[in-house]
Amino acid sequence: MQQEIDDEDDWGPPVKVLPSPWPELGELLHLSPGHLIGIGAARDSREAEAGYDLALHAAAHGVRTLLFAPDLPDRSPVANLTVQRRLTLTPETVEKDVSSYAHLPDPVGLVVIDHFQLMSPVTPEPTYSDDPVDDPEDIQPADQAADTGRRLKMLATNTAYHRPTVVVMARLTPPNGSTDPLALEHLGLAAELIYDTDTLLLLNRTTGDTIDAHIAKDRFGPAPTRTTITW
């Protein structure tokens, strides 16, 4: 089930938006069909679970949701929510899963990817090394990261897949000991999302229930700007 927001200026039909578990944050995210939305959060923080919370909430409201989360522990199945835990995550693999539902009466309405730094632009060649990769971001050049963002935006706007809303989480890594406000550069290569996202938020919990939200990009409002939300 989708909510409708009337356009006060009567510029066209009501805009459909997906339900959000956080009313204040939902107004900033613009969870509409065809939109690509980025959310930056520190590793192991409560905010880093925003993708799962959003997927769970949308599914509970009847939105068919795909959640790509290789690191997500096994949890009880939820109606309308499909969790993919495959280790090889590329725009092609995401699109393939979305396309498999395109012919159904209720196609995918929300895609959540957790997280961007785990993605590769293409399926990697087989490796025979036993040495693990410490940080996937180290092997993803900026131009490949930008290409990944572009292809996720193309997925979101693809009418053949009914223009699903795509939300991609990204890990924030501010310098150790830094007390400066969050900034785009704290996303590392995921900062390339600035070019193709419709909305890009950086979230940082400043108190127990208060979040500092740095709005790095907003196609529908002022940016960059900052605000405080309760969560």
Which residues are CB-contacts of 55 (< 8 A; sequence separation ≥ 6)? 65, 67, 81, 110, 112
Phi, psi of 26 (to 5 degrees): -60, -35
pTM score: 0.85
Assign 3-class secondary structure to the chain.
Answer: CCEEECCCCCCCCCEEECCCCCHHHHHHHCCCCCCEEEEEEECCCHHHHHHHHHHHHHHHCCCCEEEECCCCCCCCCECCEEEECCCCCCHHHHHHHHHCCCCCCCCCCEEEECCHHHCCCCCCCCCCCCCCCCCHHHHCCHHHHHHHHHHHHHHHCCHHHCCCEEEEEEEECCCCCCCCCCCHHHHHHHHHHHHCCCEEEEEEECCCCEEEEEEEEECCCCCCEEEEEEC
Domains in the chain, start-ordered, CATH in brackets? Answer: 23-72+82-122+137-175+186-230 (3.40.50.300)
pLDDT in tens, the chain (231 residues): 444 433 334 433 444 789 889 888 888 899 999 999 999 999 889 999 999 999 999 999 999 999 999 888 888 899 999 999 988 899 999 999 999 999 999 999 999 999 999 898 765 555 544 544 445 444 457 889 999 999 999 999 999 999 999 999 999 987 776 677 889 999 999 999 999 999 999 999 888 888 999 999 999 989 999 999 888
